[in-house]
Amino acid sequence: MKLLVGFVLCILVGLGFTYCNVPLGMMFGPLITVLVLKRTGLSVPVLPGSMTVIQLSLGTSIGLLFRDFSFGVQGNIAFLLMFLLLCLFLQFTACYLWCIHRLRWSKEEALLGAVPGAMAAVLALASHIKTPPQKIIISHSLRLITLTLFAGYISGGAHTPTAMSPVLFTATNILWLLGIVLAGYVLGKCLERVHFPAPFMITSLLCAALLHPFSSQTVLFPDVFNQFSMALMGILLGHHFIAFTLTAFMRHLWSSMQLITIGLGVTVIMALTAAHLLDYPFYLLMLSWVPGSVESMSFAALALNANASFVMASHIIRMLLIQTIPAMVIYRKREVTQDNGATMRKPTKPL
């Protein structure tokens, strides 16, 4: 009963925040509620499959935009990709060198702490190298919350439409939505088996984008589902912080803030440069290149009626890179270590 009360309270607080025009209120309301209830002894459950629901909701709603929505940057895609890769490289390099020379972290801790986002991949790598993950978790959790707040600030003046169109309840619209979501879920389960990043988001987006043109009418996605997904996202973010004590959090707060400042500073410089050279909106480049959550940034882009497909594509590319490159580096390092150990253990022939 306490779990149900806590969850319902999160929804009510989120609705209250939204009514008061708080940016991304349905996300920040549950987040704050989880933190407050933790201090009173109450717990808020994380619904099983929350991330799957979030990814399917975001992927479908953004994929449906492709029917009447253009990237609008066909001539600049190559340059934007180059800037994205350069931005990721500078974010990682600057944070890594700071961890090594200023924070005095080990090379393994610096590698994980400098990775620009994707906490799940970072924790998986931490388990392979047996690094104490506390400072890594705190650093990435704080960065996730900070950049989510940043996304909310950017979308502060925007309001996601909540009016229910009569088309939403037609049989055609409901059947197409069910078909797209089901196809995205089935294909997402296949990608999930090979540990592909954000599998359900990618498959539902592709299914929506590819199947939508075959519909005789424009398929609409109910905004209430996106609002519910934002509430689930807020609860998940809140649970990142209640996983460790306040003492541990304060001990690693300063180092985490330094890494956030460095990563955000690099992003601002790169976004300003690209916006000036390519005449592209600065706020959209910031949402696309900050090392934050693809879900949070996509929600902010939807609230702004901005190019959410470009934002999501940029973060998917980022996740692909940061899940593969650090893993390859650590795997190679382990191979070298094992080879050296085998060489040292190799018996020598008697003279």
pLDDT band at 232 (very low <50, low <70, confident <90, very high): confident
pLDDT at res. 73: 47
Q: Indicate the pLDDT class of residue 63, thresholds 50, 70 and 90.
A: confident
Higher pLDDT, 128 or 34: 34
Phi, psi at residue 188, to the nearest 5°?
-65, -35
Q: Is the separation of the CB atoms in 59 and 184 below 8 Å?
A: yes
**pLDDT per residue as tens digits for the range 138-152:** 787 778 777 877 776
Question: What is the pLDDT, as a whole number, of residue 153?
Answer: 72
For residue 334, the Cα-to-chain-centroid distance in whole angstroms is 28
pLDDT given at position 2: 65
- Indicate if the pLDDT at residue 46 is higher than 60: yes
Q: What is the dihedral of CA 24, 208, 185, 50, to 10 degrees?
A: 0
- The whole-number average pLDDT for the span 253-262 is 89
Q: Residue 215 in 3-state DSSP?
A: coil
**143, containing H or E segment:** helix 134-154
> What would the two tokens of residue 241 be?
């912080």
Q: What share of the chain is helix, strand, coil (3-state, %, to 5)?
A: 75, 0, 25
> At what angle are helices 50-63 and 171-193 packed, to 10 degrees?
120
Mean of pLDDT over the chain: 78
Helix count and strand count (H, E) for the chain: 15, 0
Mean pLDDT on 251-270: 90
The Cα angle at residue 225 between residues 224 and 229, in degrees rounded to 5 = 115
